[in-house]
Amino acid sequence: MEKTITVTSPLLPSLDDFIPYLEDIWQRKWLTNNGHYHQELEKALSEYLQVPYVSLFTNGTLPLMTALQALRITGEVITTPYSFVATTHSLWWNGIKPVFVDIEPDTCNIDPEKIEAAITPKTTAIMPVHVYGTPCNIASIQMIADKYGLKVIYDAAHAFGVTINGKSVLEAGDMSTLSFHATKVYNTVEGGALVCHDEKTKKRIDYLKNFGFAGETTVVAPGINGKMDEIRAAYGLLNLMQVDKAIERRRQIALQYREGLKNVHGLRCLQDIPDVRHNYSYFPVFVDATDYGMTRDELYFKMQEKNVFGRRYFYPLISEFSTYRGLESAQPEKLPVAHKIANSVICLPMYAELEKEDVERIIKIIQCR
């Protein structure tokens, strides 16, 4: 049996490089609560991502929940069913009703043309996702938000380092959230961040992630504990130094896949968008069963038999899970594009250490059916 290839593999700093950082942390005996490495990583990320206000978190779900608190979002929020469940869960944990809107077939992102019809007097915000790191239609979403007085919180968990014309996608909307989970392009084992656009808001976010403490004896809001510790912040500093190299390697893998799969009938890959710096966080392919001659699931399990483990991100849709499927906006006939995409997608293995021969092997499996 040939070697197992998984959908992803984490980017790890060298252990030799990490040990001096650990020794320093042991010396300082300051393990969490806005320590030295926490501050260093916020600074380094703010420079790398070209956004002045970055607040670190201990995972990528708490920034979503905290953004909703910081902006005092209530009532209903318009969002996409085509994402990781954390997007919608963050609304539910804040007592907010999610309202699902269908997606665009090309980008898999929320379709701005369908947002207005979902707005009610209770709508207070839009929560789109830059799925696979492909930027949403930011201008159209902002126009609708401005027209109806809505906030926009982007779940940018997939969009680390993505820019449009050299400008960070994280500048869009009122806030953007990032995930630094082990499976993402850039990881701190577990981790995340919330990006906002002014100092006052960052201060409020930083209170909220530390139980609401604004001073030794002052609690200004019902905050939560979302703080990142020193060990992971130091690890994050090291990983940041190699993330560009990793993204470049991912780009080469994406090119190899696209070239190898371009003549496969019934299979669609995502292409680069001009002026966008992509991060190649995922490599989804979409299977048209009639043209390809095999269903998505048939291909998915055939790959598994050959020890290649893709993932069906995002299947099932969030709107299909028991918590949400009773909502009126979750009815399948209202989300035809999302259902079609969810039923045709496989994310192929994609990570910096994936070798040329591995990609070749995966292409061959897909080519001969």
Interacting residue ranges for ligand PLP, rule: CB under 6 A? 59-61, 83-84, 86-87, 129, 155, 157-158, 179, 181, 192
**HEC sequence for the chain:** CCCCECCCCCCCCCHHHHHHHHHHHHHHCCCCCCCHHHHHHHHHHHHHHCCCEEEEECCCCHHHHHHHHHCCCCCEEEECCCCCCHHHHHHHHCCCEEEECCECCCCCCECHHHCHHHCCCCEEEEECECHHHCCCCHHHHHHHHHHHCCEEEEECCCCCCCEECCEEHHHCCCEEEEECCCCCCCCCCCCEEEEECCHHHHHHHHHHCECCEEECCEECCCCCECCCCHHHHHHHHHHHHHHHHHHHHHHHHHHHHHHHHCCCCCEEECCCCCCEECCCCCEEEEECHHHHCCCHHHHHHHHHHCCECCECCCCCCHHHCCCCCCCHHHCHHHCHHHHHHHCCEEEECCCCCCCHHHHHHHHHHHHCC
Q: Residue 108 Cβ, how far from ligand PLP at the closest point, in Å?
A: 11
Q: Which is nearer to ligand PLP, 55 or 61 (CB)?
A: 61
Q: Which is nearer to ligand PLP, 79 or 344 (CB)?
A: 79
Q: Residue 170 Cβ, how far from ligand PLP at the closest point, in Å?
A: 14
Q: Residue 187 Cβ, how far from ligand PLP at the closest point, in Å?
A: 9
Q: Which is nearer to ligand PLP, 191 or 366 (CB)?
A: 191
Chain position carrying tokens 């500048």: 171
First to last CA, the chain: 19
Q: Which is nearer to ligand PLP, 84 or 351 (CB)?
A: 84
Q: Residue 330 Cβ, how far from ligand PLP at the closest point, in Å?
A: 18
Question: What is the Cα–Cα distance from 118 to 110, expressed in whole angstroms?
Answer: 12
Q: Residue 250 Cβ, how far from ligand PLP at the closest point, in Å?
A: 16
Q: Which is nearer to ligand PLP, 292 or 310 (CB)?
A: 310
Q: Which is nearer to ligand PLP, 87 or 329 (CB)?
A: 87
Q: Which residue is nearest to ligand PLP (CB)?
A: 60
Q: Which is nearer to ligand PLP, 64 or 253 (CB)?
A: 64
Q: Which is nearer to ligand PLP, 186 or 207 (CB)?
A: 186
Q: Residue 190 Cβ, how far from ligand PLP at the closest point, in Å?
A: 6
